[in-house]
Amino acid sequence: MIDIYIANPDSSHSTKWFDLLRKIGLQPIWINKNDNQKSLVKLPHLINKPIFALILYLRLFRIASAASSGIRIHLQYIGYNSLPLVFLPFRFKLISTVWGSDILLNTSNNTKRLIVNRILTLSNVITVDSMHLIPVLLDQKVCERKIRFVPFGTDTNLFKMRHITSSSLQFSEINPCRFLSLRQLYSVYAVNEIIQAFSIFITHYYIEHGAIPFACLDIYATGDQEHKLRALTSSLNLDSMISFKGRYSYSELPDILSIYHYSISASHSDAGLSASIAESMACGVVPIVNDYGDNMYWVTKEMGLSFKTASVESLAQCLLQGYSIDYKEFLLYASNSRSQVVDRLSNTTQEVLLRQIL
């Protein structure tokens, strides 16, 4: 059996799934559009999606034609990368992993909807990391026996619980309350709402206490909204309190997380719990998440703070609450968050479920 892997190489999610396939004994060929050190077959970076789809089709056809045994294709995200699968003239087993946005957003476009529906039909197994997505797939006439729930695993040995002292919750100019956003800077992740809520938090605190809180917001990653988000920050006179940190390597993330108190996600696209929030929780960084998708399933009131999706005022109230929290309550949130990830969202859990599928 030859295993072919189709996924975005710029995604840590894709990389971790690829590593997991190798860990359980497979030798997948990763076909991608950019050079990637873990890729075994490399394609040039092409902006034109139809041309890329054609080259991907030809590469798939060549690999499959030379195969002496069966073909099993592992697809991450149903988008243009999956278009060649519709036209392949040979039999193959298809394991598709939907990410949420491909099912929830791509169906608004006729062409994308046709691709999604066809891939769902061709798939032998469809994995989801969200209970929220299962009824969505069933509404699209997907056979229930195809659907498997496989939560995205977190390396709880890499992301370890940090030591939290009472002094770390005594905020000052040299020890501010540190809020963190790790989501990419695209509109669907709503980082603009986090910035707006942070401004409201500062204003409310000043009105109530007559002083600016000792707090900062650090925004990591990049994306096509970065210029707008920087302009928004400047327009709110928050350049001294909000920093744009840019890209980071995955190996650096545990050290990055070690200095923060709260990790925020306001995304409008996640179906399951985002990987960055799960990794934060594993380190005892308290999550602040909206009530979108499965967030309330994974982050209960004993583990973190939640706000109404798209409500900057609701998020601002969470920031105020987080800033005013006492040590014992914060420690309870952090400990419960860590336990949730270890018990239900670890790499071990994901590996067991994936083995059952294969």
Over the chain, what HEC string results? CEEEEECCCCCHHHHHHHHHHHHCCCCCEEEECCCCCCCCEECCCCCCHHHHHHHHHHHHHHHHHCCCCCEEEEEECCCHHHHHHHHCCCCCEEEEECCCHHHHCHHHCHHHHHHHHHHHHHCCEEEECCCCHHHHHHHCCCCHHHEEECCCCECCCCCCCCCCCHHHHCCCCCCCEEEEECCCCCHHHCHHHHHHHHHHHHHHHHHHHCCCCCEEEEEECCCCCHHHHHHHHHHCCCCCCEEEEECCCHHHHHHHHCCCCEEEECCCCCCCCCHHHHHHHHCCCEEEEECCCCHHHHCCCCCCEEECCCCHHHHHHHHHHHHHCCHHHHHHHHHHHHHHHHHHCEHHHHHHHHHHHC
| Predicted pLDDT of residue 107 | 59
Q: What is the pLDDT of residues 96-138, one digit of tens each?
A: 999 877 877 655 677 788 889 999 999 999 999 888 889 989 9
Annotated domain spans of the chain: 2-150, 166-344
| Predicted pLDDT of residue 137 | 93
Q: What is the pLDDT of residues 263-305, one digit of tens each?
A: 999 999 887 899 999 999 999 999 999 999 899 999 999 999 9
Q: What is the pLDDT of residues 48-70, one digit of tens each?
A: 667 777 878 888 888 878 877 88
d(CA 4, CA 73): 5
Q: What is the pLDDT of residues 146-195, one digit of tens each?
A: 999 998 899 999 999 999 999 999 999 999 999 999 999 999 999 999 99
The rounded mean pLDDT for the chain is 90
Pair 179, 217: CB distance under 8 Å: yes
| Predicted pLDDT of residue 270 | 80
| Predicted pLDDT of residue 43 | 54
Pair 354, 150: CB distance under 8 Å: yes
317 vs 63, residue with greater confidence: 317
Give Cα separations from 244 to 10, 186, 328, 358 (angstroms). Answer: 20, 14, 31, 42
The SS3 of residue 221 is: coil
Q: Which of 67-81, 84-98, 202-216 has the highest mean pLDDT?
A: 202-216
At the fourth CATH level, the homologous superfamily of domain 2-150 is Glycogen Phosphorylase B; (3.40.50.2000)
Token couple for 112: 């994308």
Share of the chain above pLDDT 90, in %: 68
DSSP bridge pairs for 96: 75, 126
Share of the chain above pLDDT 70, in %: 93
Q: Examine domains 2-150 and 166-344 and report if their fold is the same.
A: yes
Going by pLDDT thresholds of 50, 70 and 90, the confidence category of residue 37 is very low
Q: Which residues of 21-52 are buried (b: 16+ CB within 10 A; e: fewer)?
A: beeeebebbbbbbeebeebeeebeeeeeeeeb
Q: Which of 29-43, 89-103, 215-229, 245-259 has the lowest mean pLDDT?
A: 29-43
102 vs 223, residue with greater confidence: 223
Residue 47 has pLDDT above 80, yes or no: no
CATH class of the domain comprising 166-344 = alpha beta
Going by pLDDT thresholds of 50, 70 and 90, the confidence category of residue 95 is very high
Pair 329, 262: CB distance under 8 Å: no
Length of the chain: 358
Residue 38 has pLDDT above 50, yes or no: no
